[in-house]
């Protein structure tokens, strides 16, 4: 027995009344591949847009095991104690590709889940990272319209998901561990460059000394990067998500960042740039999916691939034929 989905109007009204049930149901429409649901989702998003944009969006990344969910639990609880409403979304392309998920099983963030002012939604599934990212962006709009003022978007430090999350957040936090060997080995340069703050987690017990050393090393490395367009100098911090230490200091840094970038106009500028980026992305993905869905393209593509195999054409000539199909 499945309950009928409520109307667009009642879902929209529910979201604006900060009803989490309505919010969840509307997100399910966003995630659905059914055409009817997509049309309903579009109407809901449009209805939410005038009420969105009032949050701060924080991206959190780090390798599996670094302590992301433990951190979000502590950080989220602190924010709630300060009167914030916190939504936690995840971008986890592994859940789509392998069927399993690196993030997002139900037992994570056990305490935060119980808070009435917290909303936790695991990653949408999708064939591509682009698809997952689009759904997450639309979900952000709904969460904002539902009154959530801090949106935490978590992703794993593998693949391209950090770039996607960076392009939909205002502040990017990289969680790291102090470990054996060279701290700076094995992190992709691009990710460090995106970070507005590097937080060394598990700075507790026997780990504390190594964590302090790692902090110095990261600080030195950060100084080698050119100054950021935001006018913000990234900060390296220590914390123990498990023992709830250093969390308030991180919130202070995040708050300082928002003061800085709202003051100098970068906040508004970056959001506009992100919207332009997503406009282009949306066009690209729509053109691409429409192109490949065209039955004559499907037939001709097979032919042209075969022709290339047999050295009977060039990639450029083949592309020309395919792109000119109606
Ligand atoms: P995630 O995969 O990044 O989400 O990591 P989890 O939050 O699931 O944490 C992985 C493991 O590290 C768990 O066993 C946590 O209890 C542990 N952990 C997380 N934060 C800390 C911390 O600050 N100190 C210590 N000692 N352990 C931690």
Question: What pLDDT score was predicted for residue 180?
Answer: 41
Report the atom number in ligand 1 closest to the C-alpha of 154. Answer: 4
- Which ligand 1 atom sits nearest the alpha carbon of residue 72? 7
- Ligand 1 center from residue 242 Cα (angstroms): 7
Question: Are 260 and 231 within 8 A, CB to CB?
Answer: yes
Mutate to test the pocket of ligand 1, among 60, 70, 154, 161 (most ligand atoms within 8 A of CB): 70
Instruction: Output the ligand 1 site: residues, CB below 6 A.
Output: 62, 64-70, 201-202, 204, 240-242
Does residue 298 contact residue 289 with C-beta atoms inside 8 Å?
Answer: no
Ligand 1 pocket mutation pick from 241, 247, 249, 250 by most atoms within 8 angstroms of CB: 241
The closest residue, in CA terms, to atom 17 on ligand 1 is 67
Q: Are 144 and 177 in contact (CB under 8 A)?
A: no
- Write down the residue that tokens 């695991």 correspond to: 122
Give the CATH number of domain 1-51; options: 1.20.950.20, 1.10.3720.10, 3.40.190.10, 1.20.5.170: 1.20.5.170
* Cβ-contact 155, 161 below 8 angstroms: yes
ipTM of the prediction greater than 0.90, yes or no: yes
- Which CATH number fits the domain 52-264, given the four candidates 3.40.50.1820, 1.10.3720.10, 3.40.30.10, 3.40.50.300? 3.40.50.300
Q: How many CB atoms lie within 10 A of CB 188?
A: 11
- Domain spans of the chain, in order of start: 1-51, 52-264, 279-323
Phi then psi dihedrals of residue 231, to 5 deg: 80, 10
Pocket test for ligand 1, best of 111, 242, 245, 247 (most atoms within 8 A of CB): 242
pLDDT of residue 104: 56
Q: Average pLDDT of each block of 10 consecutive residues along the chain (326 residues)? A: 79 97 96 91 96 92 90 97 96 66 66 94 79 91 97 84 91 86 58 91 95 91 88 95 97 97 96 94 89 95 97 97 94
Going from the Cα of 139 to the center of ligand 1, the distance in angstroms, rounded, reads 27
Nearest to 201 by CA among 238, 146, 161: 238
CA of 310 to the centre of ligand 1 (A): 54
């Amino acid at each position: 027995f499945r309950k009928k989905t409520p109307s667009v109007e009642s879902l929209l009204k529910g979201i604006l009344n900060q009803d989490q049930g309505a919010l969840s149901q509307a997100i399910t429409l966003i995630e659905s591949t059914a055409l009817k649901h997509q049309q309903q989702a579009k109407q809901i998003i449009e209805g939410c847009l005038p009420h969105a944009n009032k949050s701060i969006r924080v991206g959190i990344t780090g390798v599996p095991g670094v302590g992301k969910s433990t951190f979000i639990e502590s950080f989220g609880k602190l924010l709630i104690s300060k009167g914030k409403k916190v939504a936690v979304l995840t971008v986890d392309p592994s859940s789509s590709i392998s069927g399993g998920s690196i993030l997002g099983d139900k037992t994570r963030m056990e305490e935060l889940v119980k808070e009435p002012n917290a909303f936790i939604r695991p990653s949408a599934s999708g064939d591509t990272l682009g698809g997952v990212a689009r759904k997450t962006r639309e979900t952000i709009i709904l969460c904002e319209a539902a009154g959530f003022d801090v949106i935490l978007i978590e992703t794993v430090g593998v693949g391209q998901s950090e770039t996607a999350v960076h392009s939909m957040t205002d502040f990017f936090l990289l969680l790291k561990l102090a470990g054996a060997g060279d701290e700076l080995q094995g992190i992709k340069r691009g990710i460090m460059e995106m970070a507005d703050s590097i937080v060394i987690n598990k700075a507790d017990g026997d780990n504390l000394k190594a964590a302090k050393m790692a902090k110095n090393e990261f600080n030195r490395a950060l100084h080698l990067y050119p100054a950021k367009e935001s006018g913000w100098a990234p900060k390296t911090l220590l914390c123990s998500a498990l023992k709830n230490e250093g969390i308030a200091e991180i919130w202070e840094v995040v708050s300082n960042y928002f003061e800085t970038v709202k003051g100098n106009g970068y906040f508004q500028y970056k959001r506009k740039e992100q919207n332009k980026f997503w406009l282009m992305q949306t066009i690209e993905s729509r053109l691409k999916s429409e192109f490949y869905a065209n039955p004559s393209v499907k037939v001709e593509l097979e032919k042209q691939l075969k022709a290339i195999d047999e050295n009977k054409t060039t990639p450029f000539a083949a592309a020309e034929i395919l792109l000119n199909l109606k």
